[in-house]
Amino acid sequence: MTKTLSLAKANSHPLEPFIQKLLSAEALLPDSENNVIEVVGILKSYGVVLDAYSKNLIYIADHQFLVLFPFFKYFNGKVTLPQLLRHWWHDRINFEYAEYCMKTMLWHGGGKMDEYLDSDDFLQQCQAAVAAKIKTNLPIRALNGLFPDFLPEQVRQLAYYSALGQFWRVMSDLFIDLSDAYDAGKVQTIPEVVAFVKAGLVAAAANPITYAVEINGTSYELLPKSAGLTFLMDVAVPYVEAVFFRGTPFLGTVSYNAQANQISADQGRFEYGALYADPLPIGGAGIPPTLLMQDMRHYLPDYLTAFYQSSGRGLDDVRVKICQSFQKSMFCVTSASLQGLLPHPADTQDPRERAANHAFLSGWMDRLATSRLDIVQL
Amino acid sequence: MLSALILIPLVAALVLILWPGKLEAQTAKVVSGIGLALSLALIGFLATQFELATPGFQFEELLPWVEPLGLSYRLGLDGLSLPLLAVNSLLSLVAIYISEPTLHRTRLYYVLLLVINSAVAGAFLAANLLLFFIFYELELIPLYLLIAIWGGSRRGYAATKFLIYTALSGVLILGAFLGLVWLSGNTSFDYDSGLAAALPLAQQISLLVALLIGFGIKVPLFPFHTWLPDAHVEASTPVSVLLAGVLLKLGTYGVVRFGLGLLPDAWMALAPWMATWAVISVLYGSLAAIAQTDMKKMVAYSSIGHMGYVLLAAAASTPVSIVATVFQMISHGLISALLFLLVGVVYKATGTRDMTVLRGLLNPERGLPFVGSMMILGVMASAGIPGMVGFISEFLVFRGSFLIFPVQTLLCMVGSGLTAVYFLLLVNRVFFGRLAIAPPTVAPQLDIELPSVTWRDRAPALGLAVLIIAFGLQPNWLARWSENITLALHQPYQGFVQARTQFAPTAVPAVADTLFVDPALTLPTPVLPVFAAPSVEISLP
């Protein structure tokens, strides 16, 4: 008789303790009082910022459809002189960051949405919408004739604008609710935070993701309900993949040389996402995550400001601190997502289901091996 | 009046010595600071009374002292010493300001700093050779103690090495002074430019060689420089600031005042050799700086390189190049003080000066961005970027020396280029890239949290930077003091300069190169008062 190793042993993973934590409804982030303050506080301000990002993304998708020189796209349709001055003075939300995330999603693709955007159904609707939009615009019609792929690609991008806006709408409300629950004393530990987020994700999992644009009184369904795109699998998961894991090698104080193969040719092996990000370059000019940290700085709850004030350089290096807290919170959201995506209930007793759960988490842990997981434990 | 510059710091030192009870660092700083500020104010006052048109000593004071020896207490101020005195008081003030409040043996420390200030002021003011020598030696002991007591781990070695070298320097200088006076049959050691006029050339040359080696140790020039990097590395930041900013200048001041000023015949005979020596020193200092991994050592070697320019300019002995010696001394004093100051701040914040591990200190949130910016400004000034005092001084050195020693000047320009090389290496390694203060490790580590630098620490660097830029934009503020003394010093060298001037027709006397001298004063050829003038001449066939 052949002796077989027990399943658990065979699958022993360098990050096995984290797999066990996720299976026992704990989090990738250790539970501590400070971590709760940081995570909930930062998600509160993130929620406020996401609300603004989401509204603007949806505004651009709906109202700046194929506006090829969208000078006022960040104004949500309200262009006044005081607002213009505020914009130039840069006293505003950095909506560019939302676009970076949208483009990262567009670029990495994934999920059924990516497939649908390449389908004939989409192309037909898209061409109809494009034709309606450029009916009276001769130069653009000439451009479309010469480069017939250009405008549909713009429309695909607009679909991502809309999808990310819809995703962040849900996440913004979820994070604000989380903050309210914390303020009310209902959430007090990191596992409770994770459970709260997981419940929110699961509740919204089947929400349809749709996108329709109205041109001259006719509505064009670019992402129709019939395409069956849903919140969790078609937007949330690709988002986590694109923004948390893969990301983009942003220009920063660490230079990557693509010619020297420092950037993998395989997008699937990208490790530049939020979970891998180095908080120290934050604050350097031209490094996009700085934009998000700048935005969140305005909406920190008082208790988090006091917490930052009390350590190190106080608020002088607050953007680095925000980035560190944000990274911690993203490990919590990742924990919630992974728990929500488990193929079988975490507490199943069926050995095959347990093995499947374990294999699922092992796959993700392989990718987390080079992340900042070990540093957020400190 | 001049004695006050020597006495005020001594009185402050006396107050500290007699201060009842335990002397707090803050009190010591305030007392010393008041003393030095008074000195600085007095120098400012003297500057307002200073007659620019008078080339010789002003505000002279004379007290017979040991007449049989020829030693008199004779002080005088001229355009050579005035700017150096100001730098001395200013940098002493900086040194007091940046001294760690937690130092042990507070009383002794501040007393020693004040004594150094007093002795250096005395040396710059002395118009008697023996009196100069006394002050020159007097400054050694406090500096030795400052390194030996408050220095780094190898302070004993560095301090002793410093003492041996500079004591030897003192012996050579004393020998040269004695020889000069005795051989010329004088009874007085009072400074007199005609002192050696009657001496045969061979004797003059021997005396000059002794002086050059003596002061060359202090400057320091290759190969007598080895004490300097050790002393700098072991000395605390305030002492390094003083050492580089002021004390090295005693050497170059000595070369110009007593070599160039007293032994013209020998000087002319040795000038080509001195220019070559300057080249060797400049290139050696620069190349050695490139090889360093300790920030402080790199700045120290750069000092060796930059002090070589003074020798080159002095060797050329044109009016422009003699102004350049003063300019380069002041410029190097300010720039090297700034650089040592900043290295000190980096060391205090990170605990290391090792360029193999320091990275990314310009990080705007967690690094030392202000210090980094000042450092970039400092190294740019040192490399001679226009708009800062380093450019003016190097330009004057090269402009003043080129027609006399074209090859040596060109080689020194290479040294100037090398300055950019090693300082860019420093800036690139230490200030750019991802923030790090230790080699990368396998074990996960929390992100670096450097203590932030307060405005208290930033203020002196900012002050020096302002001066560096101000004199870079308005060089006349500095040059005006020295114009006439340089002309006087140049007087014996007119024939030499004309004979050696290359590329320029003899019809245009090289004297006309003078940039800052009012044409009405001495010169027949009209000269533009600004930098437009030299380019015209350079382009002559």
Q: Per residue in B443-461, pLDDT tens?
A: 888 888 888 888 888 999 9
The proportion of chain B whose per-residue pLDDT surpasses 90, expressed as a percent, equals 59
User: From CA A20, how far away is CA A26, in angstroms rounded?
Assistant: 8
User: From CA B96, how far away is CA B109, in angstroms rounded?
Assistant: 10
User: From CA B2, how far away is CA B76, in angstroms rounded?
Assistant: 7
Residue A215 tokens read as 């041109």
Instruction: Pick B61 or A8 by higher pLDDT.
Output: B61
Nearest CA in chain B to A278: B447
- The pLDDT of residue B495 is 81
Question: Does the pLDDT of residue A249 top 90, yes or no?
Answer: no
Q: Which residues of chain B have a CB within 8 Å of the CB of A251?
A: none
Task: With H, G, I as helix, E, B as strand and everything else as coil, classify residue B77.
Answer: strand
- The pLDDT of residue A196 is 95
Nearest CA in chain A to B436: A280
Mean pLDDT of A205-211: 93
| pLDDT band, residue B509 (cuts 50/70/90) | very low
Question: What DSSP line would sit under B292-346, residue for residue?
Answer: --BHHHHHHHHHHHHHHHHHHHHHH--HHHHHHHHHHHHHHHHHHHHHHHHHHHH
The proportion of chain A whose per-residue pLDDT surpasses 90, expressed as a percent, equals 67
Interface of B with A in 343-362 (CB under 8 A): 360
Please report where in the chains the tokens 């015209």 appear, as a residue. B536
- Answer yes or no: do A280 and B452 touch at CB < 8 A: no
- Answer yes or no: do A253 and B365 touch at CB < 8 A: no
**Closest partner CB to B434 (pick from A280, A375, A378):** A280
Question: Does the pLDDT of residue B93 top 50, yes or no?
Answer: yes
| pLDDT band, residue A301 (cuts 50/70/90) | very high
Q: Which residues of chain A have a CB within 8 Å of the CB of B360?
A: 253, 280
Q: What is the DSSP secondary structure assignment for residue B446, as one 8-state letter?
A: P
Nearest CA in chain A to B366: A317
Residue A192 tokens read as 């409770």
Question: How many angstroms away from the CA of A318 is the closest CA of chain B?
Answer: 8
Mean pLDDT of A161-190: 95
Q: Which of A253, A322, A370 to mutate to test the interface with B (most CBs of B within 10 A)?
A: A253
**Closest partner CB to B363 (pick from A280, A375, A377):** A280
| pLDDT band, residue A5 (cuts 50/70/90) | low
C-alpha distance across the termini of chain B, in Å: 51
Nearest CA in chain B to A323: B447
Note the pTM of the prediction, 2 decimals: 0.87
Q: φ and ψ at B168, to 5 degrees?
A: -60, -40
Nearest CA in chain A to B435: A280
**Closest partner CB to A378 (pick from B434, B435, B446):** B446
The torsion of the CA quartet A137, A143, A144, A148, rounded to 10 degrees, works out to: -170
Q: Which distant-in-sequence residues (6+ apart) come within 8 Å of B377 by Cβ?
A: B388, B465, B468, B469
- Answer yes or no: do B365 and A283 touch at CB < 8 A: yes
User: From CA B385, how far away is CA B391, in angstroms rounded?
Assistant: 5
**Closest partner CB to B449 (pick from A283, A284, A312):** A312
**Closest partner CB to B435 (pick from A280, A313, A324):** A280
Q: What is the largest CA-CA distance in chain A?
A: 83
Q: What is the largest CA-CA distance in chain B?
A: 77
Question: How many angstroms away from the CA of B363 is the closest CA of chain A?
Answer: 7
CA distances to A283, A294, B373, B376 from B361, in Å: 13, 21, 10, 12
**Range of lowest pLDDT (A27-41, A265-279, B297-311):** A265-279
Give the angle subtended at the CA of A126 by the CAs of A124 and A131, to the nearest 5°: 95
Q: Which distant-in-sequence residues (6+ apart) come within 8 Å of A291 by Cβ?
A: A94, A96, A97, A100
Q: Which residues of chain B have a CB within 8 Å of the CB of A281?
A: 363, 434
Question: How many angstroms away from the CA of B352 is the closest CA of chain A?
Answer: 20
Per-residue burial over A59-78, b if 16 or more Cβ lie within 10 Å, else e, is bbbbebbbeeeeeebbbbee
